[in-house]
Amino acid sequence: MKKLSTRIENMAQSETLMMAQKSRELKAKGIDVINMSIGEPDFNTPDHVKQAAKDAIDNNYSFYSPVPGFLDLREAIVKKFQRENNLQFQPNQIVVSNGAKQSLANVFMCIINKGDEVIIPAPYWVSYKEIVKLAEGVPVFVQSSVETNFKVTAEQISQAITPRTKAFLFSSPSNPSGSIYSKEELKAIADVFQNHEDIIIVSDEIYEHINFVGKHESIAQFDSIKDRVVLVNGVSKGYAMTGWRIGYIAAPQWIASACEKFQGQFTSGASSIAQKASVVALCSDSDFTKNMAAIFEGRRNLIIKLVKDIKGIKYNIPEGAFYLLPDVSYFFGKTHEKYFIKNSSDLAMYILEQANVAVVTGDAFGVPECIRISYATSEELIEKALIRIKEALSKLK
């Protein structure tokens, strides 16, 4: 009898990827589906970055790369942290991986023992919980809501700490809410961990450059905890390079060395060609990234304007990333024809089938009263999608 491991049997499928797949399947049948489920900039990689990849091919960068990444890329990452974040690292504290998702997996496979607890504010990115579980850790969720701008307080975090707490994992700007922790809020959180010297803080800053409220603030700036902070970042969101699969960590040396050791047994180094393109991306001026962020801000403003006209939806104003996370609990218990909406999963499927718009259930992010809508698409499609959603929701009684 064929039997899979308990490890894979207990792992949930990515809800975001699942909805994207359903959207593609409906499109293949000729149905006009607007996909607002995927977290991917709809911009092409800048031409000079693409040229760098072509040059790398011509220069025969076609052999295995060093496990932690080419030295010139790690040096470019060090300079990026110094230039943009006023943070000091050495190249041997940087490990380049096949996307920020692998970076996160490396970290937790290296620091977590069975039963160790990881505090995660909700809402959280869909893979956080599963990565911690895969490492045999225990996710401990701290709840927030639309009323608190989907942010947790230092006091809530403090109350969640137990003798088994090994790490704290969060993102700012946040996927899925677009919320950003201010410097003052980060300082309060840092002060909590100052008194817990064995807890590692893992800060996912992949949306750093898609920020509508000013300068990015990193929790690594506080000296009291800096030697226990792991920064996770990459080129996917800020440089429209999702398919290139380059993520990285900046970490205390002992964690970086462990991640290099672990990655050496799993995937070895990331794509040599993608790494060479990433060097150019990180060393370029910021015009492309700033222009892209400005366009996303315009789309944010548009989707907020359109959502205002939909009765029953509660929302916050996202400060970064490219997601809206509205509270749709008003519609729970309502019906239309064969549909009975018990929860956000039912509502997401209703919207897909009745409005032909793909969104993601909030269950995937630890906020079952919400759905996530990505506005990483054109203003024309945003407007079209929200008109469809409004019409479909108005039928629920």
pLDDT tens, residue by residue, 200-239: 999 999 999 999 999 999 999 999 999 999 999 999 999 9
Q: What is the pLDDT of residue 246?
A: 98
Give yes or no for residue 314 having a pLDDT over 90: yes
Which one-letter DSSP state was computed for residue 314? Answer: B
Hunting for tokens 């899925």 — which residue is that? 176
Q: What is the pLDDT of residue 144?
A: 98
pLDDT band at 345 (very low <50, low <70, confident <90, very high): very high
Q: Is the dihedral of CA 216, 217, 219, 221 positive or negative?
A: positive
Average pLDDT value over all residues in the chain: 96
pLDDT band at 41 (very low <50, low <70, confident <90, very high): very high
Antiparallel, parallel or unpaired: β 94-97 and 247-250: antiparallel
Compute the distance between CA of residue 317 and CA of residue 301 in angstroms, rounded to an integer: 9
Q: What is the pLDDT of residue 276?
A: 98
Q: Is the peptide bond before 121 cis (omega within 30 degrees of 0)?
A: no
Distance of CA 346 to the CA centre of its chain: 24
SS3 12: coil
pLDDT band at 338 (very low <50, low <70, confident <90, very high): very high
Give yes or no for residue 17 having a pLDDT over 80: no
> Do 174 and 321 contact (CB within 8 A), yes or no?
yes
Give yes or no for residue 20 having a pLDDT over 80: no
Hunting for tokens 């041997």 — which residue is that? 92
pLDDT in tens, 52-108: 999 999 999 999 999 999 999 999 999 999 999 999 999 999 999 999 999 999 999
Q: What is the mean pLDDT of residues 138-144?
A: 98
Q: What is the pLDDT of residue 39?
A: 84
Q: Residue 309 burial by CB count (10 A; 0-12/13-18/19+): exposed, middle or buried?
A: exposed
Three-state SS for 16-54 is: HHHHHHHHHHHHHCCCCCEECCCCCCCCCCCHHHHHHHH
Q: Residue 84 burial by CB count (10 A; 0-12/13-18/19+): exposed, middle or buried?
A: middle
Q: What percent of the chain has pLDDT over 70?
A: 100
Q: What is the mean pLDDT of residues 253-259?
A: 98
Domains of the chain: 6-44+288-394 (3.90.1150.10), 59-283 (3.40.640.10)
> Do 173 and 119 contact (CB within 8 A), yes or no?
no
Compute the distance between CA of residue 129 and CA of residue 366 in angstroms, rounded to an integer: 9
Give yes or no for residue 30 having a pLDDT over 90: no
Q: Give the DSSP H/E element, type plus range, for residue 94.
A: strand 94-97
pLDDT band at 143 (very low <50, low <70, confident <90, very high): very high
Q: What CA–CA distances, in Å, run from 186 to 170, 192, 195?
A: 11, 10, 15
Q: What is the pLDDT of residue 262?
A: 98
Q: What is the mean pLDDT of residues 277-301?
A: 97
Give yes or no for residue 2 having a pLDDT over 90: no
> Do 228 and 197 contact (CB within 8 A), yes or no?
yes
Lowest-confidence region among 17-21, 118-122, 246-250 = 17-21
pLDDT in tens, 113-125: 999 999 999 999 9
Compute the distance between CA of residue 52 and CA of residue 49 in angstroms, rounded to an integer: 5
> Do 144 and 121 contact (CB within 8 A), yes or no?
yes
Q: What is the pLDDT of residue 13?
A: 81
Compute the distance between CA of residue 281 and CA of residue 289 in angstroms, rounded to an integer: 10
Residue from 33, 14, 32, 9 nearest 23 by CA? 33
Q: Give the DSSP H/E element, type plus range, for residue 126.
A: helix 126-134
Q: What is the mean pLDDT of residues 274-284?
A: 98
Q: What is the pLDDT of residue 31?
A: 86
Q: What number of other Cβ atoms are within 10 A of residue 371's Cβ?
A: 29
Instruction: Give the CA angle between residues 50, 16, 216 to the nearest 5°.
Output: 60
pTM above 0.85, yes or no: yes
pLDDT band at 38 (very low <50, low <70, confident <90, very high): confident
